[in-house]
Amino acid sequence: MQVKWSGRFEGYSFAHFKKDLLSGTIVGIIAVPLAMSFAIASGVKPEYGIYTAIIAGILISLIGGSKFQIGGPTGAFVPVLLGIVLVYGYENLLIAGLMAGIMLLLMGIFKLGTLIKFIPRPVTVGFTAGIAVIIFTGQVGNFLGLSNMEQHEKFHMNLLEISSNMNTINFYSVLVAMVCLAMILITPKILPKVPGALVGIVVSSIVTVLFLRGHVATIGSTYGAIPNTLPQFQVPDITFEQVYLLLGPAFVIAMLGGIESLLSAVVADGMTNSKHHSNRELIGQGVANIVTPFFGGIPATGAIARTATNIKTGATSPMSGIIHGLFVLLTLLLLAPLAVHIPLASLAPVLMIVAWNMSERHHFLHILKLKSGDSLVLAITFLLTVFTSLTFAVEVGLVLAVALFAKRMSEMLVVSKVLPNLEKADGKLQPQMVSDTHDCPQISVYTIEGALFFGAAQTFEQMILNTIHYRPDVFIIRLGKVPYIDSTGEEYFRNIVQNFKSNGGEVFVTGVQPALEEMLKRSGLHNLIEERNFYMSTGDAITAAFQHISLERCIGCKHFAFKECQLLSKGEQLPKSEVAREQKQLVGTNV
């Protein structure tokens, strides 16, 4: 696998390094408490979050496709990872993360990164808001200091758990949480460049140590000491049965990780006027998630908030992300013993603020106010994420979005019978010219506008067959405004062609674009219609159509659909050259 470095460190200098050193250090300071918070919320020990921030953070910056991406544990993973830990256990979470890394790597190698952009915005906003609700409510117990709390996979079970233990509120925990929350909210206003979460945790921890020791649950009292050593390399015990069992969870991790990392990279592009490489980003995410489980780390992805902070503090290259990981490592080695004094009540407001910021509430409310199909997709995805699972929510959201898109596209298909407007010099073909008293019983001309795909194919066939109550000798179909025909549309089109040809009629096609013509050749429709019946202009097709009609039926006809009808109605036959000349004058090259 070749990793391209062009553009990532091009023209790198010591001045750039100083900027990266500052931004990497600041992001590292932010990452330490978040890494522990996300790990605890995911149901694992806090040090596993730190290991993830170190290893995945360095590898994602080193190999990934974005110059400014900061990788590590994120809030988006919390409900997914917690569910896996509760159902399968921590060891199997490592295996699922490893499998997800392999999936991400393969997605990058096979260049599937661009497919992420096809996930509709209402689906991503819906499940992101749902995840935010789960994270926020999941921290209520720690905020209030509730005791005897059990974590459940289902949202409503956790709500019941909270309500049944409300009589165990620890007001010391509430006080500590309020102190931390106040620091988080006040610090940005007083010291904009200082991370509010870090200040909140430090201040509330000092308050706890000095005044409330033994009255508030801490990381040390709940999880024990955090080792201030390098993570140990361990190979998880993997069996075929475990791999089969964890395919679903691993796929969810891979898809969520891919979506989150590429969304973060897009945000970085918008902030820096740069361009990330989506497939290389997936490769970097894959490698990071393959390596991290061997050191006890949990799944990682691109962190939007930390990436934005990295950019705002002056990052110039992936070196800032590498420095961020090294800073977290240094913190682990030097300050890990102090982390045992951090109250769980201090981590609760940190995660609540993260949930509030990731909820995309403004986008959520905006889409809801549209009162459209997108609003329905958003609401259903959100509710299913909260009350069932992220996997099921995304599946249903995508299916519903595709169904609504197909419905909209089918409604955009226009099938109209047209005739030339003889009152104008250009003789433009228009649908309003067709009436009961002004129509040609032998030549039918139809204009198709829009894609002929599975959602519109049946409508196309019905509109054609229902509007023709007779058997015209020539059926001219104008495809100049048809960009695409799928296999379903091709089948219905074939039925129409066969229907006309079986009754002795001729089918002419005009204005076909090169790409569509190639598709018709591959499908065999081109041969069925026959090469001679394809025309660039409708004028040429109408000229040819007069060679296939019964001129006797024209005698006495009062419809006068075409200019030639004035002569043909009297039984006079136009010369071929005159017919060709006048048809070109009528419709020119209109397609």
380 plus 470 within the same structural domain: no
Give the integer Cα–Cα distance in Å for 133 and 509: 56
Same domain flag for 195 and 296: yes
CA 487 remoteness from chain centre: 25
Q: Domain boundary residue among 369, 402, 435?
A: 402
265 and 291 in a common domain: yes
Exposure string over 359-375, b if 16+ CB within 10 A, otherwise e: bbeebbeebbeeeebbe
**For the chain, how big is the Rg over CA atoms in Å?**
33
Mutual angle of helices 14-41 and 344-358, in 10-degree steps: 110
Q: Domain check: are 381 and 421 in the same one?
A: no
In a domain? residue 408? no
Q: How many other C-beta atoms lie within 10 A of the C-beta of residue 113?
A: 24
Residues in the chain: 591
Output 474 or 391, whichever has higher pLDDT. 474
Q: What is the mean pLDDT of residues 213-239?
A: 92
pLDDT in tens, 478-527: 999 999 999 999 999 999 899 888 888 899 999 999 999 999 999 999 99
Longest dimension (CA), the chain: 111
Whether residue 289 is predicted with pLDDT greater than 50 in this model: the reply is yes
Do 246 and 50 meet the contact criterion of CB atoms below 8 Å apart? no
Indicate the residue among 341, 368, 402 that finishes a domain: 402
10 Å CB burial of residue 376 (0-12, 13-18, 19+) is middle
Q: Are residues 398 and 488 in the same domain?
A: no
Which CATH number characterizes residue 576's domain? 3.30.750.24
Same-domain pairing of 251 and 313: yes
Least Cα distance to 333 among 111, 73, 54, 524 occurs for: 54
- What letter would DSSP give residue 533? G
What was the pLDDT predicted at 403?
92
Instruction: List alpha helices for 503-573, DSSP H.
Output: 514-523, 525-529, 538-545, 551-554, 565-568
The reported pLDDT for the residue numbered 12 is: 86
Label residue 270 by pLDDT band (50, 70, 90): confident
The string of DSSP codes covering 134-202 is HHHHHTHHHHHT-SS----SSHHHHHHHHHHTGGG--HHHHHHHHHHHHHHHHHHHH-TTS-HHHHHHH
Output the pLDDT for position 463.
Answer: 83
Angle at the Cα of 496 (from 490 to 498), degrees rounded to 5? 100
**475 pairs with which residues across the strands?**
444, 507
pLDDT at 112 over 60: yes
Do 434 and 338 lie in one domain? The reply is no
Q: How confident is the model at residue 591 (pLDDT cuts 50, 70, 90)?
A: very low
39 and 184 belong to one structural domain: yes
Query: Is pLDDT at 588 greater than 80 in this prediction?
Result: no
Same domain membership, residue 210 and residue 79: yes
In the numeric block, which tokens belong to residue 156?
């409503």
- Using one digit for the tens of pLDDT, what is the confidence trace for 381-419? 999 999 998 889 989 999 999 999 888 888 889 999 999
pLDDT of residue 332: 95
Query: What is the span of the domain harbouring residue 334?
Result: 15-402
Q: How far is CA 276 from the centre of its chain?
A: 16
The alpha carbon of residue 346 and the mean position of all alpha carbons in its chain are separated, in whole angstroms, by 34
From 402, 427, 451, give the residue that closes a domain: 402
Query: What per-residue confidence (pLDDT) applies to 577?
Result: 53
The per-residue pLDDT of the chain, averaged, comes to 90
**Is residue 285 one of the residues assigned to a domain?**
yes
For 413, phi then psi, to 5°, come to -70, 130
Q: Where are the beta strands (DSSP E) in 450-561?
A: 474-481, 506-510, 534-535
418 and 395 both lie in a single domain: no
Residues 395 and 525 in one domain: no
pLDDT digits (tens, 9 = 90+) for 560-586: 888 888 888 888 776 655 444 444 444
361, 470: one domain: no
How sure is the predictor about 590, in pLDDT bands with cuts at 50, 70 and 90? Answer: very low
Structural contact between residues 318 and 24, judged by C-beta atoms closer than 8 angstroms = no
- Is the residue at 56 inside a domain? yes
Count CA atoms closer than 13 A to 277's CA, side-chain side: 19
pTM comes to 0.81
Q: Is residue 161 part of a domain?
A: yes
User: Cα separations (Å) of 374 from 137, 255, 415?
Assistant: 26, 21, 27
Question: Contact at 8 Å (CB) between 46 and 226?
Answer: yes
Where does residue 515 rank: exposed (0-12), middle (13-18), buried (19+ CB within 10 A)?
A: exposed
Cα separation, 495 vs 465, whole angstroms: 10
